[in-house]
Amino acid sequence: APKTLNPVTSIDVSSREIIAQLTADLIHIDRATQKVVPSLAQSWTVSPDGKRYTMQLRRGIRFSDGVAFDADDVLFSFKAYLDHKSNSPQRDLLTVGGKPITVRKDGRYTVTFELSQPYASAERLFDSVAILPRHLLEQSFNDNKLAQAWTLSTSPNQIAGLGPFRLKQYLPGQQMILERNPYYWKADRLGNRLPYLN
């Protein structure tokens, strides 16, 4: 069984397997090909010195509860992962050259990341960070309780992500039921909304 549904604090494989179905990242590494593919960031540019990544976010995307996604969610997510009080295992991954990466909003659908020095596999940094819904988690963060959010006892309607599925029901020791995210942004080549599985 998973130990948590909180992407900020999860470290066990069981939790991460479920969380991966509920959430999405900015840039994704295809595990079969090891190629970098766009995800929530539809495109990005890298500065000539290799220290600045400017990402254009997809427009019209909604979390699994129907609330719109934009750059504020990205800023909040990185703020949460980098905050010492959150105690996130991803914090070390988001530190380059001894300094945490910084992020700023350059428009509703544009974010810029600054690294202290060039980093050869910088795109992979963004694959490890599940984007969080600011509208659901900001209060917990402000109250210094983000690490205690999204436990296995949290009501499914209080959990939302940008992944292909959303939580429907959890019965401890028995089953966890995920259902199709009706707002999932991906579609196949024929325009059919994914996932196929309900």
Spatial contact of 73 and 139, defined as CB atoms under 8 Å apart: no
Q: Label residues 188-197 b or e (16+ Cβ within 10 Å = b).
A: eeeeeeeeee
Instruction: Count other C-beta atoms under 10 Å from residue 124's C-beta.
Output: 15
Q: What pLDDT digit, counting tens, does each position of 22-79 carry?
A: 999 999 998 899 899 999 999 999 999 999 999 999 999 999 999 999 999 999 999 9
**Residue entry with tokens 């066990």:** 12
Q: What pLDDT digit, counting tens, does each position of 157-196 carry?
A: 999 999 999 999 999 989 999 999 999 999 999 999 999 9
For residue 121, the model assigns a pLDDT of: 84
Q: What pLDDT digit, counting tens, does each position of 71-82 carry?
A: 999 999 999 999
Q: What pLDDT digit, counting tens, does each position of 108-142 carry?
A: 999 999 999 999 888 888 997 999 999 999 999 99
In whole angstroms, what is the distance from residue 142 CA to residue 81 CA?
Answer: 13
- The predicted model scores a pTM of 0.94
Instruction: Count other C-beta atoms under 10 Å from residue 38's C-beta.
Output: 14
For residue 155, the model assigns a pLDDT of: 95
* Beta-bridge partner residues of 43: 56
In whole angstroms, what is the distance from residue 76 CA to residue 132 CA?
Answer: 7
Spatial contact of 25 and 126, defined as CB atoms under 8 Å apart: yes
Give percent of the chain with pLDDT exceeding 90: 87
For residue 120, the model assigns a pLDDT of: 85
Provide DSSP, 85-140: GGT-GGGGGGEETTEE-EEEESSTTEEEEE-SS--TTGGGGGGG-PPP-HHHHHHH
Spatial contact of 29 and 20, defined as CB atoms under 8 Å apart: no
In whole angstroms, what is the distance from residue 54 CA to residue 103 CA?
Answer: 10
For residue 87, the model assigns a pLDDT of: 86
For residue 128, the model assigns a pLDDT of: 79
